A = this chain, B = another copy of it.
Amino acid sequence: MYDYIMENDCDPIYGKVDELLELLTKSKGLHILLILHKANRELGFTDLKRHVESASTTVSRRLSELEKYGLVDRCQNQTRPNSMSYALTEKSKSLAPIIQSMYDWCKVNQC
């Protein structure tokens, strides 16, 4: 087993990991992904906003960032013109179960 803990320098992968974590860990970042995962379908802005209970500014910003990192797809809402829908990407679909297990852990441990 690679006992990297004994190394003096930091595992270089951490830089990139931290970069993503900085995004995911901003307010409602993980939450938005989890909501989309559980919904298992596209959701509109207002739906998301209601579920995460945050200011529209925050939801808007977070969605932009998530989209930029390829974790959320923004697509035309089929039913409502002039509005968008948001969904997980292939990339974030594989992350969602991990987030889910984190929430589950929180539940069980009653934090």
Contacts and interface: CB of A to CB of B under 8 A. Distances in A.
Interface of A: 4-5, 8, 10, 13-14, 16-21, 24-26, 30-31, 35, 38-39, 50-53, 69, 91, 94-95, 98, 101-103, 105-107, 109-111
A29 to B, nearest CB: 8
A69 B10 contact: no
Interface centre among A91, A95, A106 (most CB of B within 10 A): A106
Nearest to A16: B111
Contacts of A5: 35, 38-39, 51
A21 B91 contact: no
A20 B95 contact: no
Contacts of A51: 5, 10
B21 A106 contact: yes
